[in-house]
């Protein structure tokens, strides 16, 4: 059996080298890159089977852009997103989706190489199971909020008033209030309690997503 050729794109050298060692030991031929431009260079030079890509790659293009660009030229290329983000909706770049056939693994959920190798095997086979789509995990933080509700919650976490949220989304203040009530209900935040429900909701968002970057 031929060894599969995998590219690891990760801006943190420590993790990049560690993953490379582990996958090499697992029988893969591994190339590494620290950013999108280097990754493209490797892609052009090598006949890759799969790419493991971090989403945040520092200055320049991010992992989504890179994966999208590479997949346009090689539809068979297996893609595994390996990221700190519990959910691509927290990426800070508006609407981003993990395309069909790609795996999405959270670094915090990665116990060893087994799960990563399994994910690679699945993307190479073109069948990704729910186990390797952490972005669809119902237990992920704020996983039970819809995309729209998450957007509104992000604006709350950014300190926006209901009026500002309504203006920015082209909705009425009443509609925003109604959506916030539903968000509080889903997050099981008591809107009538002494504590400020809005503050609690913002705290939950920031705990899940970190700093609420706009976009």
Cβ pair 23, 67 in contact under 8 A: no
**Cα(36)–Cα(19) distance, integer angstroms:** 18
Smallest distance, Å, CB 5 to another protein? 19
Nearest to 64 by CA among 34, 29, 32, 104: 104
User: Which residue's CB is nearer to another protein, number 72 or number 127?
Assistant: 72
**Cα(42)–Cα(38) distance, integer angstroms:** 6
Q: Could you say which of 46, 76, 93, 144 contacts another protein (CB under 8 A)?
A: 93
Smallest distance, Å, CB 2 to another protein? 25
Smallest distance, Å, CB 115 to another protein? 10
Burial of 129 (0-12, 13-18, 19+ CB in 10 A): exposed
69 part of the interface to another protein, by CB under 8 A? yes
Query: Residue 102 is encoded by which pair of tokens?
Result: 């790609």
203 part of the interface to another protein, by CB under 8 A? yes
Segment interacting with another protein, rule: CB under 8 A, options 69-77, 124-132, 179-187, 188-196: 69-77
168 part of the interface to another protein, by CB under 8 A? yes
Smallest distance, Å, CB 7 to another protein? 13
**Cα(107)–Cα(55) distance, integer angstroms:** 11
Which residues partner with 166 through β-bridges?
A: none
Q: Could you say which of 68, 76, 177, 190 contacts another protein (CB under 8 A)?
A: 68
112 part of the interface to another protein, by CB under 8 A? yes
Nearest to 38 by CA among 19, 57, 56: 57
**Cα(121)–Cα(126) distance, integer angstroms:** 9
User: Which residue's CB is nearer to another protein, number 50 or number 166?
Assistant: 166
Query: Residue 196 is encoded by which pair of tokens?
Result: 């400020």
Which residues would be at the binding site for another protein (CB under 8 A)? 12, 14-15, 18, 22, 36-37, 39-40, 44, 56, 58-61, 65-66, 68-69, 72-73, 84, 92-95, 107-108, 110-113, 148, 151, 155, 159, 168-170, 203, 206-208, 210-215
């Amino acid at each position: 059996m031929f060894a599969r050729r995998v590219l690891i794109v990760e801006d943190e050298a420590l993790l990049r080298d560690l993953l490379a060692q582990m996958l090499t030991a697992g029988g893969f031929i591994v190339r590494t890159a620290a950013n999108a431009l280097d990754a493209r260079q490797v892609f052009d030079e090598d006949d890759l089977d799969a790419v493991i890509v971090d989403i945040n790659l520092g200055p320049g293009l991010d992992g989504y852009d890179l994966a999208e660009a590479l997949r346009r030229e090689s539809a068979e290329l297996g893609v595994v997103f390996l990221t700190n983000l519990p959910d691509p909706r927290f990426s800070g770049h508006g609407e981003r989706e993990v395309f069909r056939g790609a795996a999405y693994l959270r670094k915090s959920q990665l116990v060893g190489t087994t799960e990563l190798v399994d994910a690679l095997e699945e993307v190479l086979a073109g069948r990704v199971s729910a186990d390797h789509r952490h972005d669809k995990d119902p237990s992920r933080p704020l996983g039970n909020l819809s995309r729209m509700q998450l957007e509104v919650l992000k604006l709350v976490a950014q300190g926006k008033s209901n009026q500002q949220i309504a203006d920015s989304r082209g909705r009425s203040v009443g509609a925003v209030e109604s959506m916030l009530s539903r968000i509080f209900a889903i997050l099981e935040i008591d809107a009538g309690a002494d504590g400020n429900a809005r503050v609690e909701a913002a705290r939950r968002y920031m705990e899940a997503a970190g700093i609420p970057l706009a976009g």
